[in-house]
Structure 1
């Protein structure tokens, strides 16, 4: 089930028709407040969120969604410069797509998010310092306390845990976590790594769990 939060009725209609034709159940909201109200009433698999909304903008709405929902958020923006994209991802979006977009590409991204949500990258627990990663039951403990990770953050950590000691490139992580490569943006990986480190590291500026290997990618600490 997909929720579209978009003030342009024409875009809502095109996206609704495209996704409905592919068998997805679609609900619409013209403002951020309407979208939050719908999220409070039912559970959605994916939220498509316009950045430039009347009243509360998409950044604010995304932060609010993240406080109450684990649904993956795809941010839709007419502004594709680095600052706005990174700000949207930092606000909690899982992915972004720039206007104007091809409806079929959007559909592909949504399906990739749905597939990865259903997949499990590993079955055994991995221990890194005081972190206990249990991919099979969707749980990560830090010093025995469950961490509040988004689905993307959990998936990212689980993929690194599935190959302990091995360096995964940004391109590999795009394919494994987001389910696509050729139209992916490696900024997705870097921003989510920063967000993940804030939750799993004792000192995010000196990471011991998610290690950067310069010029190669990321690996899990030992």
Structure 2
């Protein structure tokens, strides 16, 4: 499991990133300032660091400089600073990538995957085969008995989050935040509608689902 350290002084940003990364089966630790981040690294080396520049004690550039003095851990700078000088300085000091706030979660996740691949720490491909159904989550392809099944982008996001946590409960708020964002964490009707569609397409008997199981009042589980 890929271990990601999120370093940001904004609690809402730390929460959003943590929920989205954990929903995709990353292990996550967070730090609200530079010294705490370096302490985490000292205790356990992450696989990827998401680093804000505007930290309350050591700024991100100082943290990056210290990291590069002893490790080549992949670092993605996540910053509201838009000046090219900040980006150039961060990249010159050894940052692997730079993304400017605000950003889409999907773009950030894509950059984490790309950075992990370059560092040899990419998350594993995921293919599930059960009862004539083949789900290639990595390539977003589904077939039943050799016939391709079309899922919408939203449906694939839901399938990926659930499949990467196979057998484990994913709570409603966590699933909503991972797919639609934190502003939608109470919109449980979204889940009912889209999970019903997923079941119609992927379950052998949609009226009696065995793959995408509802845990009443709590969330959903991918349990083939």
TM-score (ref. length: structure 1): 0.52
The answer for the alignment partner of 1:32 in structure 2 is 34
> In the alignment, what sits opposite 1:4?
6
Alpha-carbon deviation of 1:91? 2.2
Partner of 2:77: 75
Distance 1:91 1:53 in 2: 17
- Root-mean-square deviation (CA, aligned residues, Å) is 1.2
Larger radius of gyration: 2
Is the CA contact 2:96–2:115 (under 8 Å) kept in the aligned structure 1? no
1:105 aligns with 2:84: no
Any unmatched runs of 5+ in structure 1? 120-222
- Corresponding position of 2:68: 66
2:22 to 20, 25, 28: 20
Unaligned runs of 5+ in 2: 122-224
State the shift of 1:12 in Å. 0.4
TM-score, length-scaled by structure 2: 0.52
- Cα distance, 1:43 vs. partner? 1.6
Rounded Cα–Cα distance in structure 2 between residues aligned with 1:33 and 1:68: 16
Task: Kindly report which structure 2 residues correspond to 1:68-217, keeping only aligned pairs within 5 A, or say none.
Answer: 68-118=70-120
Aligned match of 2:51: 49
Q: Distance in 2 between matches of 1:45 and 1:108?
A: 15
Residue 15 of structure 1: CA displacement? Answer: 0.4
Instruction: Report the number of matched residues.
Output: 119
How far apart, CA to CA, are the structure 1 residues paired with 2:86 and 2:70? 23
Cα displacement (A) at 1:51 = 0.5
